[in-house]
Amino acid sequence: MARYRLQLSYDGRPFRGFAPNEGVPTVGGALRDALEKVLQHSVPIVCAGRTDAGVHALVQVVSFDTDKPVVLEALRTSLNSLCRPHIVVSDVQLVADDFDARFSCKGRSYRYRILNRRLPDPFRKDYTWRVSLPLDVDQMQAAGQLLLGTHDFSSFCRRQFEVFGDQRVEKPRTRTLRSVGWTRQPDDEIQLVIAASSFCQQMVRSITGMCVDVGLGVLAVSDVPSILEAKDRKAVQRVAPPHGLFLLQVTY
């Protein structure tokens, strides 16, 4: 058996997230189907971060094992032919047996794009969230800074469970947020770049939604600590839509 690492990007619009799920189109399902067609055996895959339905990735990393001989460039070409047009594999590497796309990953970062203007843009409607009222980026940045460090982000994450034997155990929602940066870009765009060791489900979209409410004046910056301390999913009223979110970078 040898272990390989794929680097890919994808448009998340046609997919119901990354994780393979029988009966619905997913990024992982399409990639796994392509790998199995090429390699002619079952190919479990591991990814750096499972993106939600409709979320995009500029960089995603996947690892898998095979005992079949692999010509790296030929595999990349075959996968791109089978996965086009919404998934593109940019690199295939042979890696050490102890490499794991998920557990070897030291950090993940996301970008969220907001179109902040009254009129829509037909060429950005699938990749930005249009907020028609003016946003105060300075207040949004101040709100984000209050989330830095290690916290229980239960107010910002969906509850998830793991099954151990006959027990159903809730996954912890404590994460270490390393950076939050809101910036105003040309052409009426506002962007968030956010980095952490890892994120829980809907965490980035919930932080984005809360910061937008601060930028609109619906919430005050001073409200953020109490929202964080509440550890209650109902404390965050707005969750940003998925189509403005991009997995930006993973580090090892």
DSSP string, the chain: -EEEEEEEEE--TTSS-SS--TTS--HHHHHHHHHHHHHSS----EES--PPTT-EEEEEEEEEEESS---HHHHHHHHHHHHTTTEEEEEEEEE-TT--TTTT--EEEEEEEEE-SSS--TTTTTTSEE--S---HHHHHHHHHTT-EEEE-GGGS---EEEETTEEEEPP-EEEEEEEEEEEETTTEEEEEEEES---TTHHHHHHHHHHHHHHTSS-GGGHHHHHHH--GGG------GGGEEEEEEE-
What token pair was written down for 61?
């990393």
**What is the Cα–Cα distance from 223 to 162, expressed in whole angstroms?**
32
What token pair was written down for 28?
């992982």
Amino acid at site 33: D
Q: Would residue 126 show up in a list of annotated catalytic residues for this protein?
A: no
Among candidate residues 52, 67, 126, 166, the one labeled active-site is 52
**What is the Cα–Cα distance from 36 to 252, expressed in whole angstroms?**
26
First-residue to last-residue Cα distance in the chain: 22
Could you list the active site residues? Answer: 52
